[in-house]
Amino acid sequence: MSRRTTVLACLVSSILLTVATAAPAAAATPASEWDYVALGDSYSSGVGAPGQSGTCLRSPNAYPGLWNAANHPATYRSVACSGATTGSLRSSQLSALNQGTDLVTVTIGGNDVGFASTIITCTLSSDSGCAAKVDEALEMLEDEMPATFDATYREIRGKAPNARVVVLGYPILFDETAPSCGFAGMSIPKRKSINKGAAELNKVIKARSQAAGFIWSDVTDEFAGHGICGPSAWLHGLTLIPPTDSFHPTSNGYKYGYLPALNSVLP
């Protein structure tokens, strides 16, 4: 073998070795052998779906439970919790992770920028008051959240160094074309303001999760045409019983929105 051929062979071997060692452990084994942990807020715990229980309002009909039922991983645990922020995730959920964790999924960030208070303000105030509240959240998103996401993702990676980590975004909540949105429904200007905020939040989450080396899964395509006020909504509008379901996915939203978005980025 010539010196040139030997050098080329060594280079190819080195590249293959690097790729093999850099790939998440989950990629080398079938899903039935994975240890799966679901982290996050109400969009991961399953608020809005049937079967919610406990103080965290976890449901087996959330996308993590649906994925578990379809794929039968070796182990599955959801520690996602309604109302979770990046801070509470880091303090109370990361203990579920370890070096053997193969798959992690997470939705987080909406509560950090005031999802609930923004919805309440927009429901009760004028169009301009809603827009001002959304702009306030966007200022925080720009100034504070990139560093907060970076720190959160570093801690997830530190606790689960070998895992495939999938970060899922949030749906665009409202149909913007329907002239009426039901009792106490949002005006079209309010809907546009809230949708703008969700789109900007997704942009930041996407950028920071990809910078961390995680897998980003956008759910906006899956939920397109199924916003609140639309003819085929996969999200609850203002709900009185239980009120916590308000502005969260329905069972169809988890089954036909979030679950396909997760499946689309997994082998």
The per-residue pLDDT for range 143-201, each reduced to its tens digit, is: 999 999 999 999 999 999 999 999 999 999 999 999 988 777 899 999 999 999 999 99
Q: Is residue 193 part of a domain?
A: no
Percent of the chain with pLDDT over 70: 89
CATH assignment at residue 211: 3.40.50.1110
Mean pLDDT value of segment 239-252: 96
Q: Is residue 195 part of a domain?
A: no
DSSP, residue by residue, the chain:
--HHHHHHHHHHHHHHHHHHHHS-GGGGS-GGG-EEEEEESHHHHTTTSTT-BTTTTB-TTSHHHHHHHHH--SEEEE---TT--HHHHHHHTGGG--TT--EEEEE-STTTTTHHHHHHHHHHS-HHHHHHHHHHHHHHHHHTHHHHHHHHHHHHHHH-TT-EEEEE-----B-SS-S--STTPPPHHHHHHHHHHHHHHHHHHHHHHHHTTPEEE--HHHHTT--BTSTT-SB--S-SSSGGGTTSB-HHIIIIIIHHHHHTT--
Catalytic residue among 14, 32, 42, 44: 42
Q: Is residue 120 part of a domain?
A: no
The predicted-structure confidence for 11-26, as pLDDT tens digits, reads as follows 334 433 333 334 455 5
- Spell out the residues 6+ positions from residue 218 whose beta carbon is closer than 8 angstroms to its own: 169, 202, 206, 261
* pLDDT of res. 11: 37
Q: Is residue 64 part of a domain?
A: yes
Q: Is residue 11 part of a domain?
A: no
Number of domains in the chain: 1
Q: Domain of 214?
A: 29-115+146-174+200-263
Pairing mode, strands 75-78 and 103-107: unpaired
Q: Is residue 191 part of a domain?
A: no
* pLDDT of res. 24: 53
The predicted-structure confidence for 32-61, as pLDDT tens digits, reads as follows 999 999 999 999 999 999 999 999 999 999
Catalytic residue among 193, 246, 248, 251: 248
Give the phi and the psi of residue 37 in degrees, each rounded to 5: -125, 130
Q: Is residue 17 part of a domain?
A: no
242 C-beta neighbours (distance < 10 Å), count: 12
At residue 131 the predicted structure's pLDDT band, cuts being 50, 70 and 90, is: very high
At residue 132 the predicted structure's pLDDT band, cuts being 50, 70 and 90, is: very high
pLDDT at 91 over 80: yes
| Catalytic site includes residue 193 | no
pTM reported for the whole predicted model: 0.89
| Catalytic site includes residue 226 | no
pLDDT at 253 over 50: yes
Q: Is residue 82 part of a domain?
A: yes
- Spell out the residues 6+ positions from residue 204 whose beta carbon is closer than 8 angstroms to its own: 109, 141, 142, 145, 146, 149
